[in-house]
Amino acid sequence: MPKTFFITTAIDYTNSAPHIGHAYEKILADVIARYRRLKGDNVFFLTGVDQHGQKVQQSAEREGVPPEQFVAGITEQFIALWDKLDVRYDAWAATIDPLHKTCVQGMLQRLFDEGKIYKDKQVGFYSVRQEQFLTDKDRNEAGEFGPEWGEVEQREEENYYFKLAEHKQWLLDFIDARSKAGNPFVVPDFRVGELRNAVEKIGGDRQSGSDRQSGSDLCISRPKSRLSWGIELPFDRDYVNYVWFDALSNYISFIGYDPSRSTINEQPSIFRDKWPALHVIGKDIMIPAHGIYWPIMLHALGFKDDQMPTLLVHGWWNLGGAKMSKSAGNVVDPNALADKYGAEALRYYLISEIATGSDADFSEGLLVADYNHALANTLGNLANRTLNMIHRFRQGTIKSSGLMALAESEVRSHLQTWSDDELKAGQTFYRDKFVDFRPSNALSAPLARALACNALVEISAPWNLAKDKRQEKLLDAVLYHLAESLRIIAIWISPVLPKSAHGIFDQLNWKMESELRGKEKRFSLADAEWGKLPDGHVVGKPVPLFPRIEG
Ligand code: MSP
């Protein structure tokens, strides 16, 4: 049995409502997952929410509700948004799940038993307001801790540490080996150098007073007196885990990882079938969490080099050049945009306007302009006029009479190349772009074909052909070409625009869902070949797919 393609996203903090950055990441992963299903792969898509931690505890306290109740409310908002945006995942990782807790505790206990976690004392300056130890980096130009830290006092605190630094050389070698093998750990690979530099900096002594893992090992605990909303350390009930073991472990706990077994071969088959993963994450959580802590945790748990995941690191959606974030107060609400323009318009914009890995500036004006150009004027117009003409000139029936029956003409040669060389080039281009995780580029295959079809309508002027008995065959060939291209376009857009793809198939009266047998899927990449609509096929009535957005 071929292995399952396992794709995950970052799990979002449940301290505030989702914004467009969260939506982008989940849609990007959804598009890749849908493409792999289209290709015929078994896919398992995991996403979810990161529900523990200080910020959640503080937000809940501010609202005067227990943290469980607070996270339940925000979690609902995420679930409802993914539903609205057609993000179709196979499993939901919510870190308050008892299954997750048991798995995290099992991992921590094993690492503790193996001497990979130790207790140590921190002495240093502590900000009571921000509830954290401070380092020299937090001092202002005058060398003082500024008023933003509130009261700062000397404190001593014992905590637990995970031995990170001893894996530094292994991680460097691993990153290099993956790059050398042409299978970089980080994609797009322009970030590999950045990660490598950060790994090089691991080491030296832990900075005195720091609980931020500035130099070497990773502090993984908080005394319960300071933070109670977390997973208890199994070997010391006075502490909770803080915070990356809890969050990162979701990638394995929710697919059945058994922490008591230290080799992958001993893991249950539901786990082995999926692992390793493609982790879709934003650039802000590559260093140190996903690029340093996570591979080292896995390595310490007994994962071998060929059992390490791959990081697909995307850029940020900015607003006026600045990263969108709740604290900066510049967030764009995906819910409101989906209500105003529809989920498909939002999906299209977020995927087509950003090259995977780069940043982009959010613009509602551009969302509308893109939609009107690509979807309303180009694709929607093509679908509408094609079906209208098939009804007007042929009572809804298409004929697949061969091109050879046609006299040599400009239109015939267009039809020939578009159904042959151009289609093959489009198929290769489309697949290649998805191999590189570049759905924004892949989208130019269906768009180029829709533009070419609209040009064909202008060149061939079917309304004139319909007036001339001698042009009957040419008219049939043009109409068939348009309908068949629409069918292929629907397959190609289906990962990004699933509802519209269904709409086009419905209107073509093709592979109607009620007629699908057994496990047969409505969309399959193998079907994006020329000539599948049979001679004499009767199409459905046109229904506007993408009404123009005015104003
Ligand atoms: N909870 C952690 C991740 C733990 S993963 C084991 C977290 N949560 S987050 O809610 O702050 O961010 C979730 C994801 O959204 C991250 O991948 C982050 O990069 C992404 N984005 C947050 N703001 C973003 C933009 N403005 N633009 C694009 N994505 C950004 O980090």
Reported as a single tens digit per residue, the pLDDT across 418-453 is 889 999 999 999 999 999 999 999 999 999 999 999
Residue 45: both structure tokens together: 């898509």
Question: Alpha-carbon distance 391 to 518, whole Å?
Answer: 32
Q: Which of 509, 510, 351, 508 is nearest to 433 (CA)?
A: 351
Beta bridge partners of 521: none
Q: Which of 285, 249, 230, 241 is nearest to 52 (CA)?
A: 230
Question: Alpha-carbon distance 266 to 478, whole Å?
Answer: 60
22 Cα: distance to centroid of ligand 1 (angstroms)? 6
Residue 433: both structure tokens together: 């772009």
For residue 284, which atom of ligand 1 is closest to its CA? 19
Q: Whose CA is nearest to atom 18 of ligand 1?
A: 282
* Residues 167 and 111 sit within 8 Å (Cβ to Cβ): no
281 Cα: distance to centroid of ligand 1 (angstroms)? 7
322 Cα: distance to centroid of ligand 1 (angstroms)? 15
Instruction: Please confirm whether the linkage preceding 276 is cis (ω < 30° from 0).
Output: yes
pTM for the model stands at 0.95
Beta bridge partners of 396: none
| 549 three-class SS | coil
Angle, CA 511 vertex, CA 507 and CA 514 arms, to 5° = 100
Q: Which of 501, 506, 532, 354 is nearest to 34 (CA)?
A: 501
426 Cα: distance to centroid of ligand 1 (angstroms)? 34
C-beta of 53 in contact with ligand 1 (< 6 A): no
Question: Alpha-carbon distance 126 to 150, whole Å?
Answer: 10
Q: Whose CA is nearest to atom 7 of ligand 1?
A: 12
Hey, what amino acid is at 523? F
CA distances from 94 to 91, 150, 505 (A): 10, 34, 36
Q: Strands, E, within 231-354: which ranges?
A: 232-233, 236-241, 278-282, 310-314, 317-319, 322-323
Q: Whose CA is nearest to atom 12 of ligand 1?
A: 12
DSSP for 62-95, please give it: HHTS-HHHHHHHHHHHHHHHHHHTT---SEEEET
User: Which phi-psi region, left, alpha or beta, contains residue 150 (left: φ > 0; alpha: ψ -120 to 50)?
Assistant: left
Beta bridge partners of 124: 155
For ligand 1, mutation pick of 25, 59, 326 (most atoms within 8 Å of CB): 25
* Residues 49 and 71 sit within 8 Å (Cβ to Cβ): yes
23 Cα: distance to centroid of ligand 1 (angstroms)? 10
Question: Alpha-carbon distance 357 to 368, whole Å?
Answer: 23
C-beta of 25 in contact with ligand 1 (< 6 A): yes
Q: Which of 86, 34, 18 is nearest to 345 (CA)?
A: 86
C-beta of 316 in contact with ligand 1 (< 6 A): yes
Alpha helix ranges (H) inside 436-531: 439-442, 444-460, 462-465, 472-493, 498-508
C-beta of 108 in contact with ligand 1 (< 6 A): no
C-beta of 21 in contact with ligand 1 (< 6 A): yes
pLDDT along the chain (551 residues), means of 10: 93 95 98 98 98 93 96 98 98 98 98 97 86 86 91 93 96 98 98 97 59 67 95 98 95 98 96 98 97 98 98 95 81 96 98 97 97 98 98 97 76 86 96 98 97 95 95 94 97 98 98 88 96 97 95 73
Q: Which of 85, 52, 46 is nearest to 67 (CA)?
A: 52
C-beta of 248 in contact with ligand 1 (< 6 A): yes
Longest CA–CA separation in the chain, Å: 95
| 437 three-class SS | coil
For ligand 1, mutation pick of 9, 11, 16, 22 (most atoms within 8 Å of CB): 22
Question: Alpha-carbon distance 551 to 542, whole Å?
Answer: 25
User: How far is CA 426 from its chain centroid?
Assistant: 24
What per-residue confidence (pLDDT) applies to 414?
84
For ligand 1, mutation pick of 7, 8, 12 (most atoms within 8 Å of CB): 12
Which DSSP letter does residue 292 get? I
12 Cα: distance to centroid of ligand 1 (angstroms)? 6
What per-residue confidence (pLDDT) applies to 204?
52
Q: Which of 117, 118, 149, 119 is nearest to 133 (CA)?
A: 149
Q: Whose CA is nearest to atom 24 of ligand 1?
A: 21
Q: Whose CA is nearest to atom 5 of ligand 1?
A: 10
| 232 three-class SS | strand
Q: Whose CA is nearest to atom 10 of ligand 1?
A: 12
C-beta of 300 in contact with ligand 1 (< 6 A): no
9 Cα: distance to centroid of ligand 1 (angstroms)? 9
First to last CA, the chain: 53
* Residues 523 and 38 sit within 8 Å (Cβ to Cβ): yes
Task: Return the number of other C-beta atoms located less than 10 Å from residue 154's C-beta.
Answer: 9
Question: Given the structure tokens 């590189």, which residue do they identify?
Answer: 436
For residue 283, which atom of ligand 1 is closest to its CA? 19
Q: Whose CA is nearest to atom 15 of ligand 1?
A: 22
Question: Alpha-carbon distance 78 to 21, whole Å?
Answer: 13
C-beta of 357 in contact with ligand 1 (< 6 A): no
Question: Alpha-carbon distance 249 to 220, whole Å?
Answer: 13
Residue 533: both structure tokens together: 């609509």
Angle, CA 320 vertex, CA 319 and CA 322 arms, to 5° = 65
328 Cα: distance to centroid of ligand 1 (angstroms)? 15
The 3-class secondary structure across 359-408, one letter per residue, is CEECCHHHHHHHHHHHHHHHHHHHHHHHHHHHHHHHCCECCCCCHHHCCC
425 Cα: distance to centroid of ligand 1 (angstroms)? 36
User: 232-233 and 278-282: which strand pairing?
Assistant: unpaired
CA distances from 290 to 53, 251, 274, 277 (A): 18, 11, 19, 12
C-beta of 280 in contact with ligand 1 (< 6 A): no
Residue 162: both structure tokens together: 């995970």
* Residues 476 and 521 sit within 8 Å (Cβ to Cβ): no
